Amino acid sequence: MGMSASQARLLSLQARQSNLEYQGQQINQERTILSQQATALYNSLLAMDVPTPPSTTDFTTVQYSGKLGTTTYTFDASAVKPGKDGGYNVTLGFTDYGHSLTRNNGYATTSSGYETIKNGIKFDTNDTEAGEITKTTAGFQFSGNIDETEDAPTEVPFFKKVATRPSSEVYYILDESGNYLVEGGKGNRDNEDNYTGDYYVPCYELNEWDAATCIKLIDNTKKDVQVTVDTAPSVNITQDDLANLYTINASGVIEKAEANVDYYVSSSGEVHLIDNAGEEFFLDNGKGSDEAKRGTSDGYTIAGYAAMTMAKFKKEFDDKTIDTYNGYLEAIENSGLKKANGEPYTADDFMVYIDDNGQPHFALATDVRDNNSCVTYDYLANGSYTKNQEYENAKLTFDPATGRITSIDIPSEEKDANGNPVSWSTIAIEAETVTDELAYQDAYNDYEYEQYQYDKKQQEINAKTSIIQQEDRNLELKLQRLDNERTQITTEIEAVDKVINDNIEASYKTFSG
């Protein structure tokens, strides 16, 4: 028995040892994977470009300026291109007045998709108007013996049916023919104490009327009649609700309801909804059971507001405000913003959103769709802006000592029979070294944003690396515990193995003795 027990113990210890070795291999494999992940994170950190702040020298140029009449023209060396016949094509900038766009500093956040609003009420224009319902009920005639001197009380045309005889109010019952109402308790029916029919009391409030419990007084014998009753609106909208009032399009997406487009307020303060091809409305009151998706059909937001393409934005304007929309188009044209290929941006390149104050703000559609932030532009009505005009084959005069331009002759738009300018206008030019502070500030804003993105990415990598390192330390501790347990088992195996060997040796000596 001793030999068998020792052998079983040895097998058990060897099995545990094998299991520990297998667990150790698995842990080493996990640590290898963690090491690979840490290496990948480190390599991604090395691949990141460290943002470099802009230098003011990069935005310092020689600025030329000169006056022609009351207009001051400006340009720099980059605005001068070689023309033909020894002339130059020069783009001159000058101040003009009208609609334009001005860029905001910093960035606005953008997002795509929709935000769900829960606990609201969906309804349409019919739900906010008083309506009518028509029901069928039985009609009765008053019996003439109620009171021979008075006509039937036509101001109370409805009577409510009750199951028991009222004890403190006037009530009516059917006479023996079943076609007439007679006042109860006045001897108008024989054996009233044995009456088992329904009792009727005047129904003074029309909203208490119901075809199942009420009847109507008519001027002939009993018959079924159609009764129409006014109903109160199922949804009441007040001016306090307008801030949370939205419209719902065919896709189920809601947009902010606009005054005089989706609703108007009467002189008495009542809110009236405008039925725009049967669109639905949504009141975000936090109480209803409905929900809707906030956003636009384009599915983009800027600074938390629904963004629209200019084409969709145009649909928001009627004939009375089309001049305003045209002003926006003029502002885009006058902004001087151009694409990388030098072509000016058009309305199709912009998106717009309206803030809580009803003011429009613009952004390039590519920035909204491709990034999580965008530059925004404010609308300037009748403000001043810089406008550029190109002159072909202008003549330039240079200072031989400095190489700077001292004057420019620009041709008139009027041409002679040979296509040559009829006249030339000479502008005396002065040069000065200037720094484009706005461009520098824009570049610095870009740098700060890139630095923020860089720091954020670095923090994410460091956080992931820290988690990996903690997991590796946990695995290392676990591996160390397994190794200690394996050492103990190895020692015990050696002890059991020695016991078995001693037993074998003692057994052989006994048989050989």
In a domain, residue 293? The reply is: no
In a domain, residue 314? The reply is: no
The answer to whether the Cα torsion of 22, 24, 26, 32 is positive or negative is negative
In a domain, residue 36? The reply is: yes
For 69, half-sphere exposure in the C-beta direction (CA atoms, 13 angstrom radius) is: 3
Span 300-354, pLDDT tens digits: 888 888 888 887 777 766 555 777 788 888 888 888 888 888 788 898 899 998 8
Choosing from 231, 252, 279, the residue where a domain stops is 231
pTM exceeds 0.95, yes or no = no
Q: How far is the C-alpha of 260 from the C-alpha of 276, rounded, in Å?
A: 11
Residue 280's closest CA among 313, 243, 251? 251
In a domain, residue 496? The reply is: yes
Determine the average pLDDT of the residues in 256-270.
Answer: 86
Choosing from 231, 252, 276, the residue where a domain stops is 231
DSSP, residue by residue, 260-307? TTTEEE-TTS-EEE--STT-EEEE--S-SSEEEEES-TT-EEETTEE-
Number of other residues whose CB lies within 10 A of the CB of residue 334: 20
Same domain for 226 and 138, yes or no, is yes
The pLDDT of residue 295: 60
Choosing from 185, 200, 231, the residue where a domain stops is 231
In a domain, residue 114? The reply is: no
Full domain range(s) for residue 503: 2-52+445-512
Q: How far is the C-alpha of 110 from the C-alpha of 306, rounded, in Å?
A: 10
Structure tokens, 75: 């340009």
For 502, half-sphere exposure in the C-beta direction (CA atoms, 13 angstrom radius) is: 8
Same domain for 44 and 136, yes or no, is no
Tell me the pLDDT band of 207, cut-offs 50, 70 and 90.
low
In a domain, residue 217? The reply is: yes
Give the rounded percent of residues in the chain with a pLDDT score beyond 70: 87
Q: Are 48 and 513 in contact (CB under 8 A)?
A: no
The answer to whether the Cα torsion of 115, 117, 118, 123 is positive or negative is negative
Tell me the pLDDT band of 361, cut-offs 50, 70 and 90.
very high
Q: How far is the C-alpha of 513 from the C-alpha of 509, rounded, in Å?
A: 6
pLDDT for 149 beyond 80: no
Q: How many domains does the chain have?
A: 2
Same domain for 137 and 224, yes or no, is yes
Q: How far is the C-alpha of 390 from the C-alpha of 90, rounded, in Å?
A: 6
Tell me the pLDDT band of 378, cut-offs 50, 70 and 90.
very high
Q: How far is the C-alpha of 198 from the C-alpha of 161, rounded, in Å?
A: 6
Residues belonging to the chain: 513
Tell me the pLDDT band of 376, cut-offs 50, 70 and 90.
very high
Q: How far is the C-alpha of 294 from the C-alpha of 253, rounded, in Å?
A: 6
Q: Are 264 and 170 in contact (CB under 8 A)?
A: no
Number of other residues whose CB lies within 10 A of the CB of residue 246: 21
Q: Please report, as a single letter, which amino acid is at residue 197.
A: G
Span 458-489, pLDDT tens digits: 888 888 888 888 888 888 888 888 888 888 88
